[in-house]
Amino acid sequence: KVIWTLLVTVLGSASSLPVGDDSICTAEELAKYSIIFTGKWSQTAFPKQYPLYRPPAQWSSMLGVTHSSDYSMWKKNEYASNGVRDFAEKGEAWVLMKEIEEAGEKIQSVHGIFSAPAISSGTGQTFTELEAHSRHPLVSFVVRIVPSPDWFVGIDSLNLCEGDHWVEEVSVDLYPYDAGTDSGFTFSSPNFATIPQDTVTEITCSSPSHPANSFYYPKLKILPPIAQVTMVKLKKNQLGLPAFNLNLPDKSNEIIDSVSETPLDCEVSQWSSWGLCRGPCRKTGTKIRTRFVLLQPANNGIPCPNLDEETACEPENCV
């Protein structure tokens, strides 16, 4: 933790300012923001295959950067960098931080790096502060979904400057993304590299269109947001103080889940073959076939049907 803090501090203070003038943002040179990340990944909102242990649902630390339009941490429909791949798959930040440092040194597009602690549950809050510059008014960050193959949430190049003033407050709902580097369908899928690498894509309730997908809810039109981020501009007398609108309990970072329930219907297997016909010779007997539950229903979803069925038959091979 000490090394992480020192590295973030050094990189943030050593980043160069760009040579050229952006001319788009004419607000005061520097602005500080409190950034609050709220996890909304609850079993109520996302009941399918919800990770309860080994490990339970949780969020990695946040890694973000303030930058100009010359830099991109990640972008939808483009290939993830090696640093984003390592972060999305394993939560390892060193390669990504090196990429950010090199971008700051070579093309002077990075102003500062920021990070926030991990959240040990699917629902909770974490926060930190960031500094934006009039020539570096864009914010990008990533937070890994844990456990997952290579899934994350984040923001790509959100502009905090509007002409001659800084945005006072902004909130953005976050949805899951696939980094395109691992081919797993479920939260607990084993590591299986995607070859060739695919682009970063948004995961929706119908894409990937596969019943095994942990976010596959074909009856929904859109997934509920799995997280939310809020950025609030700090006044000078607030600098260095905790975010004023955090609603954290005394001994936990758990928050009250206000997301509406997502119904999950029961899923069952195909019928087995019919069993042997049982009964006395020359009289009507019965035979049975069975099926089993693939997915238990939740949140008032359609209950499971009968798992066995019998029908009349005539016994064969009677003596």
Rg over CA atoms, the chain: 26
Other C-beta atoms within 10 Å of 21: how many? 10
Q: What angle do CA 164, 170, 172 make, to 5 degrees?
A: 135
The verdict on 165 and 212 lying in the same domain is yes
For residues 267 and 303, what is the distance between their CA atoms, to the nearest angstrom? Answer: 9
The verdict on 287 and 182 lying in the same domain is no
As a three-state string, the secondary structure of the chain is: CHHHHHHHHHHHHHCCCCCCCCCCCCCCCEEEEEEEEEEECCCCCCCCCCCCCCCCCEEEEEEEEEECCCCCCCCCCCCCCHHHHHHHHHCCCHHHHHHHHHHHHHCCCEEEEEEECCECCCEEEEEEEEEEECCECEEEEEEEEECCCCEEEEEEEEECEECCEECCEEEEEECCEECCCECCCCCCCCCCECCCCCCCEECCCCCCCCCCCCCCCCCCCCCCCCEEEEEEECCHHHCCCCCCCCCCCCCCCCCCCCCCCCCECCEECCCCCCCCCECCCCCCEEEEEECCEEECCECCCCCCCCCEEEEEECCCCCC
> For position 115, which CATH number holds?
2.60.40.2130
Last residue within a domain, chosen from 186, 210, 233: 233
The verdict on 86 and 221 lying in the same domain is yes
11 within a domain of the structure (yes/no): no
The verdict on 134 and 194 lying in the same domain is yes
Q: CA of 185: how far to CAs of 147, 178, 182, in Å?
A: 12, 10, 9
43 within a domain of the structure (yes/no): yes
Other C-beta atoms within 10 Å of 131: how many? 16
Last residue within a domain, chosen from 233, 257, 277: 233
The verdict on 198 and 79 lying in the same domain is yes
The verdict on 103 and 228 lying in the same domain is yes
Written as tens digits, the pLDDT of the chain (319 aa) is 434 443 444 343 333 333 333 458 999 999 999 999 999 999 999 999 999 988 999 999 999 999 999 999 999 999 999 999 999 999 999 999 999 998 888 778 999 999 999 999 999 999 999 999 999 999 999 999 999 999 999 999 999 999 999 999 999 999 999 999 999 989 999 888 999 999 999 999 999 988 889 999 988 889 999 999 999 999 876 555 544 444 443 333 444 445 567 777 778 888 888 888 888 887 888 999 988 877 777 777 788 888 889 899 888 777 5
14 within a domain of the structure (yes/no): no
Predicted pLDDT at 85: 97
The verdict on 215 and 279 lying in the same domain is no
19 within a domain of the structure (yes/no): no
The verdict on 215 and 67 lying in the same domain is yes
The verdict on 180 and 278 lying in the same domain is no
87 within a domain of the structure (yes/no): yes
> For position 291, which CATH number holds?
2.20.100.10
262 within a domain of the structure (yes/no): no
The verdict on 179 and 40 lying in the same domain is yes
Predicted pLDDT at 3: 41
Beta carbons within 8 Å of 146's beta carbon, 6+ residues apart: 55, 57, 58, 59, 60, 91
Domain span at residue 125 reads 31-233
Last residue within a domain, chosen from 233, 252, 277: 233
21 within a domain of the structure (yes/no): no
The verdict on 274 and 223 lying in the same domain is no
Beta carbons within 8 Å of 318's beta carbon, 6+ residues apart: 281, 282
For residues 104 and 118, what is the distance between their CA atoms, to the nearest angstrom? Answer: 25
Q: How many domains does the chain have?
A: 2
Beta carbons within 8 Å of 157's beta carbon, 6+ residues apart: 67, 69, 72, 75, 138, 139, 140
Predicted pLDDT at 237: 66
45 within a domain of the structure (yes/no): yes
The verdict on 205 and 77 lying in the same domain is yes
CB 25 within 8 A of CB 111: no
Q: CA of 289: how far to CAs of 143, 276, 296, in Å?
A: 47, 10, 20
pTM score of the predicted model: 0.75
